Amino acid sequence: MLRGNRTITEASSPILLFDSGVGGLTVLAELRRLMPAAPVIYAADLAGLPYGEKSEPKIAARVAGLLGRMSERYKPRLACIACNTASTIALGMVREVLEIPIVGTVPAIKPAAAMTTTGVIGLLGTAATIRQAYVDKLEAEFASSQSLLRYAAPDLVKVAEAKLRGETVDIAVIDAAARSLRAMPDGERIDTVVLACTHFPLLEHELREAFGPEVNFVHGAQGIAHRIAHLTKGQPFSADQSNRFVVTGDVQSAQLLLPAVKSHGFSDIEAF
């Protein structure tokens, strides 16, 4: 396979979607609408979940190391870090390590700033994401005349993972996140909420119930899918595609995700 900016010739070469868990399935759903024939390897680092409570050096080293080994094993044409926390911390390092295009995931502050009418935007993310200088940069560039209220809601990651395992959604956790964001100065004027974690769109229905009908939600899945489509435009894809869902950690416990995994076109869950 030819790498970097050169032409990819192998039609069977996959797109690698990487996330700490199952949040990246929200990106996959959008990608499937645009590129139904593309072979995809979805990699969930369940052994490292959750990323949001880890230190930046640990996240950067883990993500770069895993993506390096996965690139060697699966020979992807492109890799997408479908995780806001990993992207805001490790994207630069990964791009230095790998010789293929890397697409990251960043909080959708730009579209939120264009959408709000009150000028007050809420942002739900992990603790690691909301404190990143990258988020400061996005705010300064696209929402400098508006108010961006950030709230760390790591428990929403656990609730989203549980939902895909078929467990009952803990509405109290979702309500608590909504109340906490509303309780911040000017929080009652929030009309747009950025879901700055790919897990959170899995809970969009429940979040709408908690925030009320006057609040709009925005996340980056669609934009990421369009970026991947742009970078692979004109490349051949095998009609006999081989989609694989791989995980780090305990494969046996991950089997609870199998119904959700199958609904996204995968037949099984494999160990990495």
Which residues are identified as catalytic?
A: 83, 197
Q: Do 123 and 107 touch, CB atoms closer than 8 A?
A: yes
Between the CA of residue 222 and those of 29, 134, 180, 207, 245, what are the distances in Å? 9, 20, 28, 19, 21
Residues near 57 by beta carbon (within 8 Å), at least 6 away in sequence: none
Peptide bond into 213 cis (omega under 30): no
For the record, the structure tokens of 197 come out as 């974690």
For residues 219 and 197, what is the distance between their CA atoms, to the nearest angstrom? 8
For residues 39 and 42, what is the distance between their CA atoms, to the nearest angstrom? 10
Cα angle 204, 205, 206 (rounded to 5 degrees) comes to: 90
Virtual CA dihedral for 230, 236, 241, 244, nearest 10 degrees? -40
Burial tier of 6 (Cβ tally within 10 Å: 0-12, 13-18, 19+): exposed
Task: Say which amino acid occupies 159.
Answer: V
Angle between helices 84-97 and 56-74 (to 10 degrees): 60
- Which residues are registered as beta bridge partners of 269? 245
